[in-house]
Structure 1
Amino acid sequence: MATSESANSVSQVPENCRAPNNPILKLAFKILCIIAVSRESLDHWKDTKNKDWKEHVSIMVNRFQNTNVTAGLVLATTTLFLSSPPPVEHLMAYNSTISYIIAMISFDAALLSVISGSAVLVIYETSTAHKDMETLKHMPRYQVIALLLWLAWPSICLSVATCFLFVAIFIACFGSDNIVVNIITILACVAFLSNGALTLYVFAVVGKKPANGKKNTPTQVIDMHHASIGAACLPR
């Protein structure tokens, strides 16, 4: 029953809005959808007049607003680094050439995120409020991809800005002659990489169905645990 409902839902989605059949392109399309519309697919485009669509629009507007605020904070931080000398240079020499160049890249990406995010927010709100979104289903494939890239651009720029800012600070601190600063920098780098790994892991496991297709209740889990203990205690 669930399989037939899923197949029926997919069949209602226009072919130009479906994921490609190629595994690599399918994965790329899925990632693009997640970044652009916070969904793994464009299945919600099959009906843009229901309550779910309106809730999705509200979520997207809120996300764009949060992205703009975060990009503004990153922009302010990089501006501070680029426009002021380090107060204690031997601890954090972010005025070094390599660190300064990377900070400039972060500044440019953050500025692009703010500009593109503001444009996306204004146009997205205006379009969803005053235009017929049913036309999304009739857009050619290249227009769909262009729209997704446009929606994802602020988030992509923000990610680049944040990562490059972290790298700039890491280089500045790791080049310090203070061992405590070096240790803190290494721990921060480990935490940063660990968070990335955890993010990928959580994204991969959340919402994934069990192998047998059934969910075990807490009582069933306890019963299975007791049964395994009892079996282990039986004489052989």
Structure 2
Amino acid sequence: MARPSLKQHWMSKISDDEWEKHRKISVDRLNNTNIVAGLVLTTSAIFVSTQPPLTSFLPYTIRGCYVLALGSFAHALGGLLSGLAVVNIYGSCDRIWAKRVLTSTRFRLCCTLLFMGWPTVSLTLSIMFLMLSLMIACYASGVWWLQFLATVEILSWAWLPPLFAWCALEETLPPKLRTLRRPTGP
């Protein structure tokens, strides 16, 4: 849950105050994910259940787009379902029960972490499927300026994940080179 290691997860099991802070942060994050999943679920449901007003302009009911919109709907629904389940269970359990039951074995710990992370994974897949569906519909339309705008949109988003990954990862330079790179101030 947005941490590089399990250290904070284990530290939360030591005292009730730490547990309450950890549980509140986890449940709040999952609640935010559930809200977004509900919005994406509604959006994808609209694309799955309605005919386009101008089929020649944005034909999102062609087979490929429709299948991707269904995939988006299914992942948003599954993410919302699992997110609500985790919020209800994790939000109501106490520190001792979480320690003795949810994390009692390595397998249970892995399953618990998977359940806690699955709503975000599912939401990400849902958004990607819906974006891909709309992109394909733009290219299938044959409208040159819509295709141009879709290309500009794709290019404006394509550089963000690599840039974020580069910014989020720790520097892997050896200590000797790291000290050479840092300027010394006056």
Looking at CA atoms only, which structure, 1 or 2, has the larger radius of gyration? 1
Q: Is 1:96 the equivalent of 2:57?
A: no
Corresponding residue number in structure 1 for 2:44: 78
The residue type equivalent to 1:126 in the other structure is S
- CA distance in structure 2 between the aligned counterparts of 1:133 and 1:117, rounded to whole angstroms: 17
Counterpart for residue 87 of structure 1: 53
Q: Which residue of 2 aligns with 1:204?
A: 169
Counterparts of 1:105-144 in structure 2 under 5 Å?
Answer: 105-128=71-94, 131-135=96-100, 139-144=104-109
Gap change, CA 1:180 and 1:69, over 3 Å in 2: same
For residue 227 of structure 1, what is the aligned residue in structure 2?
A: none
Counterparts of 1:46 and 1:216, CA distance in 2 = 36
Q: 1:170 aligns with which of 128, 135, 138?
A: 135
The structural deviation recorded for 1:50 is 5.8
Deviation at 1:135, TM superposition (A): 2.8
Instruction: Tell me if structure 1 keeps the 8 A contact 2:9–2:22.
Output: no
Structure 2 unaligned residues grouped into runs of 5+: none
Of 152-161 and 39-48, more deviation after overlay is shown by 39-48
Is 1:42–2:36 an aligned residue pair?
A: no
Q: Is 1:68 the counterpart of 2:26 in the alignment?
A: no
Alignment map for 1:151-162 (pairs within 5 Å): 151-162=116-127
- Do 2:52 and 2:61's aligned partners in 1 also have CA atoms closer than 8 Å? yes
In percent, how many aligned pairs have the same letter? 27
* Backbone CA RMSD of aligned residues: 2.6
> Normalization by structure 1: what TM-score?
0.69
2 CA distance for matches of 1:87 and 1:150? 39
SS at 1:94's partner residue?
A: coil
Contact 1:45 1:136 in 2 (8 A): no
- Counterparts of 1:104 and 1:214 in 2: how far apart (Å)? 52
Residue from 156, 162, 172 that aligns with 1:191 = 156
Instruction: Tell me which of the two structures has the higher relative contact order, counting C-alpha pairs closer than 8 angstroms and 6 or more residues apart.
Output: 2
The answer on whether the counterparts of 2:102 and 2:108 sit within 8 Å (CA) in structure 1 is no
C-alpha distance in 1 between matches for 2:66 and 2:82: 24
- Residue type of the alignment partner of 1:149: L
Match of 2:111 in 1: 146
Deviates more, 1:188-197 or 1:73-82: 188-197
Shift of 1:56: 2.4
Matches within 5 A, 1:224-235: none
Quick one: structure 1 residues 194 and 217, their matched pair in 2 at CA, closer, same or farther if it must change by over 3 Å? closer
SS of the residue corresponding to residue 56 of structure 2 reads coil
43-52 vs 97-106, which deviates more? 43-52
Mapped partners of 2:148, 2:140: distance in 1: 11
The answer on whether the counterparts of 2:103 and 2:112 sit within 8 Å (CA) in structure 1 is no
